[in-house]
Structure 1
Amino acid sequence: MSATRHRTVRLRHLAAPLFAAGLILGTATPGSAGGRPTPTIVDTARGHGTVVSYTFDDGPNPVDTPRLLAVLKAHRVRAVFCVQGNHAREYPALVRRIVAEGHVLCNHSLQHDDLGTATPEQIRADLLATNAAIRAAVPRAHIPYFRAPYGSWGETPTVAAGLGMQPLGWRLAISDWEPPGTDELVRRLMDGITSGAVVLMHDGGGDRSQTVEAVERTIPLLRAQGYRFTLPEHR
C-alpha cells in the first residue's frame, strides 16, 4: 500500500513488579475508577492539566519493541501496546515482557484486517481469537482496550464493549508508518500535541527505529513543558 493510501485509510477510518503482577492476574484496572466499558471511543489521556498518553500499534516485533521498552523503562513512562494476535503468537515472550514492565494491553485484531464492514459475529470471533492469542502468552492477562485497525470502526465499538474492552481512539497520529525521518516525527509530535491527547504510534508493521528514536527525544521535551504521561481514559 502506498504511503498516501495508507495515510488516507488510517485517517478514515514502569511500573513496580507488584503492579505488573496485578495486570497479569487481572486485578489492576488501568482506567478510571468504576464503570463498565462503553461503545464510546475514548481519545483522551486520564487526569487533569497537561497530560498525554503514548500508544503503540501493530506489534510486538522482535527488533523495535525491545528497544522501545528499554526507552520507556529508562524514562519511567507507561504506555498502551495495541497487540495483533498473530504477532502475539509469534513473539509471546515480548508480550510477557510488555506486561512484566507495567504496560497495558490493547486488542488490535488478529491480523489487522479492516473490520469496518464485518458483522458483529465476525468481529466477536476475531476479538476473542486475539484475546486468546494474547492470553496464551500471558494467562489471565487484563486487556482493557480495543483499537480498530485503520480506525475503521463499524460495529466494533459495541462488540468490544460487550467483551469488556473500551474502544481506544487517538487525537494525534504522527504518520510514523511512512516513515519520514526521526526529526520530522519529533516535529509532528511536538507541533501537534495538545493537552489530554492520546498519541498513535507504532512498534510493529515495519522498521520502527525512527519511532523509537522520536519517543526517546520527545519524552524529556514534553516533560520540560510540564506534561505528565498517563494512560487513556477508561469508561
Structure 2
Amino acid sequence: MSATARLLLAALATALLLGGTAPAAATPPRGPATPDIVDTTRHGGRAVALTFDDGPDPRNTPRLLDVLRAHHVKAVFCLWGDHVREHPWLVRRIVAEGHTLCNHSLHHDDLSTASPHAIRADLLATSAAIRAAVPHARIPYFRAPYGAWGQTPEVAASLGMQPLGWRLAVGDWDPPGTDVLVERLLSGLEPRAVVLLHDGGGDRAQTVDAVARVVPRLRAEGWHFGLPSPPGRG
C-alpha cells in the first residue's frame, strides 16, 4: 500500500471516530518550494485564505474546526511543535477534515538571528512531531514565528516548505473583542489576501466567534475560500 493510501485510510478512520464521514481534502499544493514569501491565494477574484497560528489548542481548535466544517471552509493550520506533542489527536482531526498543515517551529522562538544549521534542526524537529501524530503528513508551508524571517525562507525552501506570509493580520493575539475583530476582517480584506489568525497561544474564543460571523457574510457577498499560492509560485 502506498504512503498516500495509508494517509487517506488514517484520515478516514479518524473521521469515523469523530462521528462523521471523511470530507474531501483540499488539494495540497505541489511543486518545488522557493524562498519567496507567499501572501496571496492560488486563485484570483474574491478569494481569501484563512490561516491559523500557534495551535493546536484543546479549547479553541475543536470549536474552530466545527465552524469551518459547518461552512465547508478549508484553512491552513500553522502548528507549534510543542503543542503538537501535547495534543496529537487534534492534528489528526485537522488532517482528517481536509485542512492543510504548516510548520510554525518547535518552541515558537524568534529564529531571525539563528544559523541555517539551527533553523534546519528546529524545522525538522517540528515536522517530525507533526508526522509522529500523522505519519506521512504533507507540510507544504512554513511560517516564521512573529514574522521574523532571517534565513528561515531559504532553509524552509530547501526542506520543501514554502514560506507563508500574510496580507491581513487583525491583531487577535491581543483580543480586542469579537466586534472589533469582525470589523477588522471586513474592512481590511482585499481580494486574494492570506489572512493571519490564531487558534492557539492564548484564549482565542473571540477569534472563533469572529470567524463564525464573518464567513457566512463573506459567502453571501460572493467571496470564496481557498489556499495560499503553492510552492514554486512565490
Question: Structure 2-normalised TM-score?
Answer: 0.88
SS in 2 for 1:52: strand
Query: Residue 109 of structure 2 corresponds to which residue in structure 1?
Result: 113
Q: 1:155-193 CA distances to partner (integer Å, 9 max, x unpaired)?
A: 000000000000000000000011000000000000000
Give structure 2 stretches of 5+ with no counterpart.
Answer: 12-24
Aligned-partner residue type, residue 8 of structure 2: A
C-alpha displacement of 1:226: 1.0
Query: Residue 135 of structure 2 corresponds to which residue in structure 1?
Result: 139
The 5 Å alignment of 1:1-235 reads 21=8, 30-31=28-29, 35-234=31-230, 235=232
Going from structure 1 to structure 2, the CA distance change for 1:220 and 1:38 (only over 3 Å counts) comes to same
Identity of aligned residues (%): 67
User: Which stretch of structure 1 is more off in the superposition, 215-224 or 166-175?
Assistant: 215-224
What CA RMSD, in Å, does the superposition of the two structures yield over aligned residues? Answer: 1.7
Going from structure 1 to structure 2, the CA distance change for 1:219 and 1:87 (only over 3 Å counts) comes to same
1:23–1:102: 8 Å Cα contact kept in structure 2? no
2:26–2:98: 8 Å Cα contact kept in structure 1? no
Going from structure 1 to structure 2, the CA distance change for 1:220 and 1:28 (only over 3 Å counts) comes to closer
SS in 2 for 1:183: helix
Regions of 4+ moved over 6 Å: none
2:26–2:99: 8 Å Cα contact kept in structure 1? no
Q: How far, CA to CA, are the matches of 1:105 and 1:52 in structure 2?
A: 17
C-alpha displacement of 1:35: 3.0
Give structure 1 stretches of 5+ with no counterpart.
Answer: 1-17
Q: How far, CA to CA, are the matches of 1:29 and 1:179 in structure 2?
A: 32
Q: 1:75-101 CA distances to partner (integer Å, 9 max, x unpaired)?
A: 000000000111000000000000000
SS in 2 for 1:46: coil
Going from structure 1 to structure 2, the CA distance change for 1:133 and 1:215 (only over 3 Å counts) comes to same
1:37–1:161: 8 Å Cα contact kept in structure 2? yes
1:23–1:141: 8 Å Cα contact kept in structure 2? no
Question: Structure 1-normalised TM-score?
Answer: 0.87
Aligned-partner residue type, residue 80 of structure 1: V
C-alpha displacement of 1:113: 0.1
Aligned-partner residue type, residue 21 of structure 1: L
SS in 2 for 1:140: coil
Q: 1:140-161 CA distances to partner (integer Å, 9 max, x unpaired)?
A: 1100000000000000000000
Aligned-partner residue type, residue 108 of structure 1: H
SS in 1 for 2:35: coil
Q: How far, CA to CA, are the matches of 2:72 and 2:207 in structure 1?
A: 18
SS in 1 for 2:102: strand
